[in-house]
């Protein structure tokens, strides 16, 4: 089996907190429109596809950037090509990341027709002042409209992404956001603590003192709140930052966390195939040039040693509800972790370590203990 | 020209003592001593103009960079007097000007019959110069007062001539005026040295007696011993004998400094020069000892010096524990040239393995540390300096404490600390400020005198511990740099002193224990616990940081339990990045020090101890990595 990630490296505008590998049309070419810069992009992606293994495909995920900026036809070409070449499993999960502002009823119907069966909206917050700090363009009311349209179009799996810990956001603000998200009747929520990435506009604002990051205690309270509210609404945590109704977990992301084989198409995309990780050149122009001149777009790669593989599995498994099998741990690691059992940070269920909500908040620390 | 070509000048071992003048220069740092010395080397032509470089006699980089002299030097200068037209040999013995090196000054003085008191006539005399002047007067040296830097626009020669006249009891017009920079007045000064300073007196036929006033380790030649011959004669290839130990060596080479070493046929009465015996350890050529000959030894030694005694102690630790053997080698090497440096291995729970070192004072400590770092490339962290305490328990047992963590537990009867007699010279407008500072530092005023219309000499007794703790910096900053300080040991005095421990989760952290006055214990405790709270990362559990005197807690902070340590996102491309971060953190965990159950990054200890200068150095080292 081989999952596919398809990177769409375009946005209309760069949000202030974002350091993803994405570009606005004018960044790529002076005065250009999206049509001009993306013109032959799908051609390049299809070229790259030719070098991937031909295993059957259980999940495809279109991320970005803003995949919903491209018409269903363009994205559909990739789905058709993968299907024709590798074949899809019967229940293959095909996800589209979408900006609530850039979708219409008609467009959503077209995506569904092109083969998408799961959609994830970047909601981030229901509070205008929080969205303003995040530098997001969408109107919070558009989220409900977009979700309703998606449901009307026939999407059965709908998710929203939320961000907490934005400068100026109170616990009450966050409670309203989560309440609003849960009221949408969706079946999946991803909620991420805001990370200030160096080089972003947000980082500069914080450095200048225009904005102040909330302290870790507030962040921790926000996490506990979303966890408790989601679980109460029947969306159970299945990974540190993800909650879903039973059977609605994102299979594509689970593939990452289980170290399955997956291939990333597009500039800067990472792949993992049989204990080897490799990644493409970052810039869309360089990516296209390589592929159109018959060269590999791979920038670099690493072969994972058994120790690195083990470290990765520990680091990933500990984040999941299914937990970290005790059999993966050294005696020293078990000793280290024993103290965290008595302090209520973890439980042992069926020979695996499962983190409590308090434990998930210090998961990286627990990983360091587990790696001993 | 009154210079005499060296070949035609009176030769070592064949110079009539009546033609010899031995002198030193007493001056404060930056009053122009090295420049004047350079000028003397030039005007007597012992250094050709094309070979001249600034601060010719300062051998170490540190000396040149800091503009200070650490080790004394002796240079033989031939000179034809402009007054009587006769040939003379002037031996200039260079002296350090810092309070820490007073013992070096006293050695130089004992080798001379006269001293030039050199004062910058834009600044006036400084406290340390005054102390050295008194030392010279006690040694019955002829003093020639000289005002330097007369070329400066800000020079006030009349004012400072009056000041010097008052201090040494001469007439203001007796003060010579020179400029080391332009050479003005230097020839006249050399003539005055001949005219005023008495020639050395000794018995050429008596058993040889020479005073060791310095010994220096040279990696090529071994120990070079500087001597002043009082009686008799020292010859090359002769068996010499150290009076104190009776140890015998062959004098492989005897010579004079001119200003490079120049082997000679020997050294006669009144002459100053060096000898080399092939010995590798400076301690075998103890400064202050008398050199005599094995064939015809003297029965009475010359008056020696007091051994220098370390006054200030500090732990020196390599930042990287693996550098410990390097540090030991570097200290061993440094000690070859610095008999005043003492050290012994020390192990600290917080800082690992290092050495507890004893220094003459703060400058000595700074210089040693700088030389260790520079010459061996080790990054060091030092604990806060402390003095020596004598602790007596109620049962009468006595302890000498040079490390606060060794302060005895149990019922204490008394704690004695070293007291110094300090002299501060400053413009009179700062009298109030200085008195305030000295009061804060537990000082007792001993007196005050005007040395000129607007400058005063203020005398205080102070605990040395107070001086060791940023007193000098405070004095300088509160007087805009105008005040100068000198101090000398005055003995021990009982003080109301306590040891403050800093406890992490109930366990004392050795590096932060301090012996302080009871009135200051609280503020030390609050300062240290606050600092550590900022520096130690949050742990799985709450960690109390306490300051305690014995079992009594005087200050407390809490590091709250950690609540969040996780990166929320971990998808495709994040995985490699996150794994690499973990690999790095795994390495970091190895550098963690455990204090009980508390995990503390070494950086936190370092930052808590570091001075601003240290932090800059650490940053610079990180940048290079």
**pLDDT, tens digit, for every residue of A143-191?**
999 999 999 999 999 999 999 999 999 999 999 999 999 999 999 999 9
pLDDT at B379: 86
* Alpha-carbon separation of residue A255 from A8, A270, A322 (angstroms): 20, 14, 13
Average pLDDT over residues B433-438: 96
Q: Rounded to whole angstroms, how far apart are CA atoms B291 and B385?
A: 37
Nearest to B502 by CA among B397, B387, B349: B349
B563, A339: Cβ pair inside 8 Å? no
List B residues 512-571 in contact with A (Cβ-Cβ < 8 A).
Answer: 540-541, 562-571
- Grade residue B612 by pLDDT with cuts at 50, 70 and 90: low
pLDDT at B102: 62
Among A70-74, B42-46, B603-607, the minimum mean pLDDT is found in B603-607
- Grade residue B188 by pLDDT with cuts at 50, 70 and 90: very high
Q: How many angstroms away from the CA of A160 is the closest CA of chain B?
A: 15
Query: Of residues A149 and B608, which shows the higher confidence score?
Result: A149
pLDDT at B94: 73
Q: Rounded to whole angstroms, how far apart are CA atoms B24 and B77?
A: 13
pLDDT at B625: 47
List A residues 326-345 in contact with B (Cβ-Cβ < 8 A).
Answer: 339-340, 343, 345
Average pLDDT over residues A221-225: 97
Residue A56 has pLDDT above 80, yes or no: yes
**Residue A308: CA atoms inside 13 Å, Cβ hemisphere, count?**
16
- DSSP E strands in chain A: the ranges are 3-8, 57-64, 88-98, 118-124, 157-164, 188-193, 236-239, 242-244, 262-265, 270-273, 276-280, 298-303, 324-325, 346-349, 352-355
- Grade residue A327 by pLDDT with cuts at 50, 70 and 90: very high
Q: What is the ipTM of this complex?
A: 0.89
Q: Rounded to whole angstroms, how far apart are CA atoms A13 and B488?
A: 72
Residue B504 has pLDDT above 70, yes or no: yes
List A residues 300-319 in contact with B (Cβ-Cβ < 8 A).
Answer: 302, 308, 311-312, 315-316, 319
Name which of A253, A279, A312 is nearest B573 (Cβ-Cβ).
A279
Residue B592 has pLDDT above 80, yes or no: no
A308, B579: Cβ pair inside 8 Å? yes
- Grade residue B5 by pLDDT with cuts at 50, 70 and 90: confident
Cross-strand bridge partners of residue B417? B493
List B residues 563-622 in contact with A (Cβ-Cβ < 8 A).
Answer: 563-573, 575-576, 578-579, 582-583, 585-586, 589
pLDDT at B605: 82
A316, B540: Cβ pair inside 8 Å? no
Share the mean pLDDT of chain B: 87
Average pLDDT over residues B546-554: 94
Q: How many angstroms away from the CA of A106 is the closest CA of chain B?
A: 31
Residue-wise pLDDT tens digits, B189-215: 999 999 999 999 999 999 999 998 888
Q: Which of A26-35, B21-30, B151-160, B209-218 has the highest mean pLDDT?
A: B151-160
Dihedral of CA atoms B344, B345, B351, B352 in degrees, nearest 10, equals 180
Residue whose entry in the numeric block shows the structure tokens 């929320």: B568
Q: Rounded to whole angstroms, how far apart are CA atoms B171 and A268?
A: 87
Q: Percent of chain B having pLDDT more than 70?
A: 92
Contact B600, B593 (CB under 8 A): yes
Name which of B562, B568, B585 is nearest A192 (Cβ-Cβ).
B568
Helix (H, G, I), strand (E, B) or coil at B393: strand
Residue A118 has pLDDT above 50, yes or no: yes
- Residues of A with CB below 8 A from B579's CB? 308, 311-312, 315
- Grade residue A362 by pLDDT with cuts at 50, 70 and 90: very high
Residue-wise pLDDT tens digits, B307-355: 677 889 999 999 888 999 999 989 988 877 677 789 999 998 888 899 9
Query: Of residues A286 and B305, which shows the higher confidence score?
Result: A286
Residue B623 has pLDDT above 70, yes or no: no
pLDDT at B309: 78
Among A63-77, A215-229, A349-363, B279-293, the minimum mean pLDDT is found in B279-293
Q: Rounded to whole angstroms, how far apart are CA atoms A185 and A179?
A: 11
- Residues of B with CB below 8 A from A362's CB? 540, 562-566
pLDDT at B258: 83
A270, B572: Cβ pair inside 8 Å? yes
- DSSP character string of B1-19: -----GGGSPPTTS--GGG
Residue-wise pLDDT tens digits, A238-252: 999 999 999 999 999
Residue-wise pLDDT tens digits, B210-254: 998 888 877 788 888 989 999 999 999 999 999 988 889 999 999
B565, A363: Cβ pair inside 8 Å? yes
Cross-strand bridge partners of residue A347? A354
Contact B199, B210 (CB under 8 A): no
Share the mean pLDDT of chain A: 94
- Grade residue A268 by pLDDT with cuts at 50, 70 and 90: very high
Look at strands A242-244 and B142-148 and give their pairing.
unpaired
pLDDT at A239: 97
A363, B566: Cβ pair inside 8 Å? yes
Residue B586 has pLDDT above 80, yes or no: no
Nearest to B187 by CA among B316, B81, B76: B81
Residue-wise pLDDT tens digits, B450-490: 988 888 999 999 999 998 877 888 888 898 888 888 888 89
Residue-wise pLDDT tens digits, B89-148: 999 987 665 556 666 667 778 889 999 999 999 988 888 788 888 888 888 899 999 999
Residue B71 has pLDDT above 70, yes or no: no
Residue-wise pLDDT tens digits, A308-321: 999 999 999 999 99
Q: How many angstroms away from the CA of A346 is the closest CA of chain B?
A: 13
């Amino acid at each position: 089996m081989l999952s596919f990630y398809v990177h769409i490296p375009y946005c209309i505008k760069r949000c202030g907190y974002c350091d993803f590998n994405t570009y606005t049309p004018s960044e790529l070419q002076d005065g250009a429109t999206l049509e001009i810069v993306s013109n032959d992009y799908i051609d390049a992606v299809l070229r790259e596809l030719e070098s991937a293994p031909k295993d059957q495909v259980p999940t495809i995920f279109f991320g970005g950037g803003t995949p919903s900026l491209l018409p269903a036809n363009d994205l559909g070409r990739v789905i058709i090509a993968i299907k024709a070449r590798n074949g899809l499993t019967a229940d293959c999960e095909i996800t589209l990341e979408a900006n609530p502002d850039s979708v219409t009823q008609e467009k959503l119907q077209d995506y569904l027709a092109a083969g998408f069966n799961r959609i994830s909206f970047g909601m981030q917050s229901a509070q205008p002042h929080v969205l303003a700090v995040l530098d997001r363009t969408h109107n919070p009311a558009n989220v409900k409209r977009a979700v309703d349209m998606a449901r009307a179009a026939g999407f059965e799996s709908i998710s929203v992404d939320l961000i907490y810990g934005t400068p100026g956001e109170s616990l009450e603000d966050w409670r309203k956001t989560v309440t609003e998200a849960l009221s949408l009747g969706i079946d999946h929520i991803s909620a991420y603590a805001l990370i200030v990435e160096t080089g972003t506009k947000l980082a500069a604002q914080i450095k200048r003192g225009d904005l102040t990051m909330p302290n870790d205690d507030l962040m921790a309270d926000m996490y506990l709140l979303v966890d408790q509210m989601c679980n109460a609404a029947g969306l159970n945590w299945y990974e540190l930052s993800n909650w879903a109704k039973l059977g609605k977990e994102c299979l594509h992301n689970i593939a990452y966390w289980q170290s399955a084989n997956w291939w990333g198409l597009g500039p800067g995309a990472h792949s993992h195939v049989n204990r080897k990780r490799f990644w493409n050149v970052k810039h869309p122009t360089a990516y296209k040039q390589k592929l159109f001149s018959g060269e590999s777009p791979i920038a670099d790669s690493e072969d994972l040693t058994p120790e690195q593989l083990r470290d990765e599995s520990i680091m990933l498994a500990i984040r999941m509800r299914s937990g970290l099998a005790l059999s993966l741990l050294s005696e020293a690691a078990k000793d280290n972790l024993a103290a965290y059992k008595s302090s209520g940070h973890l439980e042992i269920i069926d020979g695996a370590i499962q983190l409590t909500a308090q434990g998930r908040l210090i998961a990286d620390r627990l990983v360091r203990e587990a790696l001993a | 020209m009154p210079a005499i070509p060296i070949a035609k000048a009176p030769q070592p071992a064949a110079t009539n003592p009546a033609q010899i003048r031995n002198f030193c220069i007493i001056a404060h740092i930056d009053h122009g001593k090295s420049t004047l010395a350079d000028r003397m080397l030039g005007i007597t032509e012992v250094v050709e103009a094309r070979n001249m470089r600034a601060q010719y006699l300062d051998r170490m980089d540190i000396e040149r960079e800091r503009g200070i002299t650490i080790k004394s030097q002796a240079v033989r200068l031939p000179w034809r007097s402009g007054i009587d037209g006769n040939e003379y040999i002037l031996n200039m013995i260079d002296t350090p000007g810092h309070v820490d090196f007073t013992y070096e000054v006293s050695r130089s003085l004992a080798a001379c019959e006269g001293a030039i008191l050199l004062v910058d006539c834009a600044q006036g005399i400084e406290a340390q110069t005054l102390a050295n002047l008194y030392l010279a007067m006690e040694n019955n040296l002829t003093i020639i007062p000289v005002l330097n830097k007369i070329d400066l626009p800000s020079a006030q020669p009349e004012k400072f001539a009056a000041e010097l006249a008052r201090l040494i009891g001469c007439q203001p017009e007796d003060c010579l005026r020179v400029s080391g920079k332009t050479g003005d007045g230097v020839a006249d000064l050399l003539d005055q040295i001949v005219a005023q300073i008495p020639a050395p007196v000794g018995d050429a036929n008596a058993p040889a007696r020479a005073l060791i006033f310095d010994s220096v380790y040279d990696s090529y030649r071994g120990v070079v011993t500087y001597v002043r011959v009082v009686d008799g004669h020292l010859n090359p290839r002769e068996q010499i004998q150290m009076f104190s130990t009776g140890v015998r060596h062959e004098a492989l080479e005897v010579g004079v400094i001119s200003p490079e070493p120049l082997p000679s046929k020997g050294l006669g009465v009144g002459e100053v020069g060096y000898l080399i015996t092939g010995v590798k350890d400076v301690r075998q050529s103890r400064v202050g000892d008398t050199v005599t000959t094995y064939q015809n030894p003297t029965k009475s030694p010359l008056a020696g010096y007091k051994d220098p005694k370390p006054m200030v102690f500090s732990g020196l630790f390599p930042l990287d524990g693996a550098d410990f053997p390097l540090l030991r080698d570097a200290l061993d090497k440094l000690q070859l040239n610095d008999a005043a440096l003492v050290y012994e291995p020390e192990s600290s729970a917080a800082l690992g393995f290092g050495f507890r070192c004893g220094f003459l004072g703060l400058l000595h400590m700074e210089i040693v540390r700088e030389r260790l770092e520079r010459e061996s490339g080790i990054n060091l962290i030092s604990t806060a300096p402390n003095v020596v305490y004598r602790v007596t328990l109620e049962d009468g047992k006595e302890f000498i404490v040079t490390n606060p963590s060794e302060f005895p537990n149990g019922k204490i009867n008394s704690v004695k600390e070293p007291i110094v007699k300090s002299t501060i010279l400053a413009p009179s407008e700062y009298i109030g400020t200085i008195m305030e500072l000295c009061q804060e530092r537990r000082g007792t005023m001993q007196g005050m005198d005007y040395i000129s219309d607007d400058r005063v000499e203020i005398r205080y007794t102070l605990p040395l511990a107070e001086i060791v703790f940023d007193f000098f910096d405070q004095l300088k900053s509160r007087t805009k740099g105008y005040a100068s300080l000198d101090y000398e040991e005055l003995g021990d005095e009982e003080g109301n002193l306590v040891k403050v421990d800093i406890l992490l989760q109930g366990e004392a952290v050795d590096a932060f224990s301090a012996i302080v006055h009871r009135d200051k214990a609280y503020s030390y405790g609050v300062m240290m616990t606050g600092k550590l709270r900022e520096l130690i990362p949050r742990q799985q559990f709450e960690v109390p940081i306490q300051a305690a005197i014995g079992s009594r807690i005087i200050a407390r902070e809490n590091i709250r339990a950690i609540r969040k340590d996780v990166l929320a996102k971990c998808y495709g491309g994040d995985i490699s990045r996150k794994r690499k971060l973990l690999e790095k953190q795994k390495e970091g965990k190895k550098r963690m020090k455990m204090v009980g159950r508390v995990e503390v990054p070494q950086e936190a200890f370092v930052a808590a101890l570091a001075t601003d200068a240290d932090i800059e150095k650490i940053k610079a080292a990180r940048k290079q990595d």
